[in-house]
Amino acid sequence: MNKLGVTLSGWELANPVIAASGTFGFGHEFAPWYDINILGSISLKGTTREPRFGNPAPRIAECCGGMLNAIGLQNPGVKSVISQEIPDLRKVFKKKVIANVAGFSVEEYVQVAALFDAVEEVALLEINISCPNVKSGGMAFGSSAESASIVCREVKKVAKKPVYMKLSPNVANITEIAQAAEAAGADGLVLINTLLGMVIDPASGKPIVSTKMAGFSGPAIKPVALRMIYQVYSSVKIPIIGVGVILVQL
Ligand SMILES: Cc1cc2nc3c(=O)[nH]c(=O)nc-3n(C[C@H](O)[C@H](O)[C@H](O)COP(=O)(O)O)c2cc1C
């Protein structure tokens, strides 16, 4: 393996640079612009059992130090991702990818994970229990050690591939949730997802994004991400994929 190579639960990557879920679509959209094979891998857009249109516009707002998004898990549904998006990506990307599994119930997480688990191009399952942009599900599962461990344990029952839990920074005690996921059998952790934020339009005095509150990402979250990764790294033994303007594997 070259100097930049990393191994995640037995999966060898040529480098640790992974496009974060939701920031890179299903990958193939970027192929006309540059050779996406320079990436270590790609984490696909969060995928649910059924197709979703996401939240109404406006669902993006720029702000000091980054941006807010409230996409609301727009995706074509797991069957379409497997039958169309991944084959389209395979034409232009020669490496394995990370499937980002989202859901509104434990059963949905399990079903979506089981379908992705059977796909050859998928190296690893990233279980998104941290989406702040949906009314139920998402972050709700990542907000307590108990619900995080239930999702993790049930997904592990059907998954042969490594299961990495993507944690929410919108909690009081991140280490408690990380330890619960590890105890439930998680092979690794991904952190952090976006911070819950709000942007007000000074002209109207109203929130810009339709959902009022939305996920804050960008340069300003880096110190928060580093602090949480530091805390979690000291309290678990499983690998961590760092996200938040950082791309590291610890
Ligand atoms: C437009 C947008 C959509 C996102 N969609 C997802 C998603 O579907 N699943 C997920 O786990 N994270 C999603 N995220 C969170 C990112 O993967 C990442 O955790 C977060 O943006 C922090 O990293 P950054 O500051 O480097 O962007 C999304 C972020 C953005 C900006």
Atom of ligand 1 nearest to the CA of 243: 23
Q: What would the pLDDT profile of 68-87 be if each residue is shown by its tens digit? A: 999 999 999 999 999 999 99
The rounded Å distance from CA 20 to ligand 1 centre is 6
| Nearest CA-CA partner of 91 in 26, 45, 43 | 26
Mean pLDDT of 192-207: 96
Q: Is the CB of 75 under 6 A from ligand 1?
A: no
Q: What is the DSSP letter of 171?
A: S
Backbone angles phi, psi at 10, to 5 degrees: 90, -10
Q: What would the pLDDT profile of 1-44 be if each residue is shown by its tens digit? A: 678 999 999 999 999 999 999 999 999 999 999 999 999 999 99
Q: How far apart are CA 207 and CA 222, in angstroms?
A: 24
pLDDT at position 142? 86
Residue 196: is it exposed, middle or buried by C-beta count within 10 angstroms (0-12/13-18/19+)? Answer: middle
The rounded Å distance from CA 84 to ligand 1 centre is 22
66: amino acid identity, one letter: G
Rounded to 10 deg, the angle between the 174-183 and 145-158 helix axes is: 30
| Nearest CA-CA partner of 193 in 168, 218, 173 | 168
